[in-house]
């Protein structure tokens, strides 16, 4: 490193000690100092990718009838078959949850071009449940069973981890080691003897649901093979924010 660079860094630190100015470079921040020394703030990210150990799928039915009562009754009967199919595939009742029910009037707008008002044609009901399972290899057959039971609205699957935080135990240690090395490097470059840890805070994304895979009746093979589903891996991201005090 040239003498000119050391001179620039020394000048910057001197200015920060004298004023409450803020200097930032490469995602790291050195704030104006207390009498003990300037504070260095930065974040370290660690990502752990793992095969998911649970998945959720959404399934529902849509029914239409002349009256709201008839539409609701028809939908309830269809949903009973759908829920029974999920239970038959080993889904526990506690892992089946209604995610949405919608009742709305339906109109025919095809005659509006002739100045006619919309024609009322009945009521439509949509009901959807979400089923969660730890049997990743059974997702394809589960989807097929829900469609065979009358499911017309299929969503998912969404993959995740039951205990995402446990996947990050090693990542925390790696992040702390990386932070120590980074702080020591800043201290050396700025002409300080070392850096003392002031605070740590944690954030991140822990095994959240992954984007659902497209699914529909058209994916079912003519020879009744189970729908192929590949779980891949889910990402668990840990973000640790650090503050170090540079010391002479």
CATH of the domain at 104: 3.30.70.2970
Domain C-terminal end among 121, 141, 160: 160
The verdict on residue 94 lying in a domain is yes
The verdict on residue 60 lying in a domain is yes
Range of the domain at 72: 54-160
154 and 198 both lie in a single domain: no
110 and 16 both lie in a single domain: no
Q: What is the pLDDT of residues 36-69, one digit of tens each?
A: 789 999 999 999 999 999 999 999 999 999 999 9
Beginning with the edge strand found earlier in the chain, give each strand of the sheet holding 153-160 in spatial order. Answer: 96-108, 119-133, 54-65, 153-160
d(CA 8, CA 31): 17
11 and 83 both lie in a single domain: no
CB 159 within 8 A of CB 231: yes
The verdict on residue 216 lying in a domain is no
148 and 188 both lie in a single domain: no
Percentage of residues of the chain with pLDDT beyond 70: 77
118 and 191 both lie in a single domain: no
Q: What is the pLDDT of residues 190-206, one digit of tens each?
A: 999 999 999 999 987 65
Angle, vertex CA 143, rays to CA 161 and CA 128, nearest 5: 85
Task: State pTM to two decimals.
Answer: 0.66
d(CA 146, CA 85): 6
Domain count, the chain: 2
46 and 10 both lie in a single domain: yes
The verdict on residue 228 lying in a domain is no
């Amino acid at each position: 490193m040239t003498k000119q660079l050391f001179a620039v860094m020394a000048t910057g630190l001197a200015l920060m000690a004298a004023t409450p100015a803020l200097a930032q470079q490469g995602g790291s921040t050195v704030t104006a100092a207390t009498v003990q020394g300037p504070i260095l703030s930065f974040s370290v990210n660690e990502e752990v990718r793992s095969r998911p150990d649970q998945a959720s799928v959404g399934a529902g039915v849509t029914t239409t009838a002349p009256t709201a009562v008839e539409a609701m009754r028809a939908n309830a009967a269809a949903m009973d078959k759908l829920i029974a199919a999920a239970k038959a595939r080993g889904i526990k009742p506690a892992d089946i949850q209604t995610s949405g029910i919608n009742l709305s009037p339906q109109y025919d707008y095809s005659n509006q071009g002739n100045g006619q008002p919309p024609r009322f044609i009945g009521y439509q009901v949509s009901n959807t449940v979400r089923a969660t399972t730890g049997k990743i290899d059974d997702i394809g057959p589960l989807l097929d069973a829900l469609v065979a039971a009358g499911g017309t609205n299929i969503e998912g699957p969404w993959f995740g981890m039951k205990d995402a935080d446990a996947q990050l135990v090693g990542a925390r240690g790696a992040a702390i080691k990386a932070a120590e090395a980074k702080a020591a490097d800043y201290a050396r470059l700025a002409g300080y003897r070392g850096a003392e840890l002031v605070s740590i805070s944690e954030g991140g994304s822990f095994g959240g649901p992954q984007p659902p895979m497209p699914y529909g009746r058209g994916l079912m093979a003519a020879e009744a093979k189970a729908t192929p589903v590949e779980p891949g891996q889910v990402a668990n991201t840990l973000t640790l924010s650090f503050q170090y005090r540079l010391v002479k």
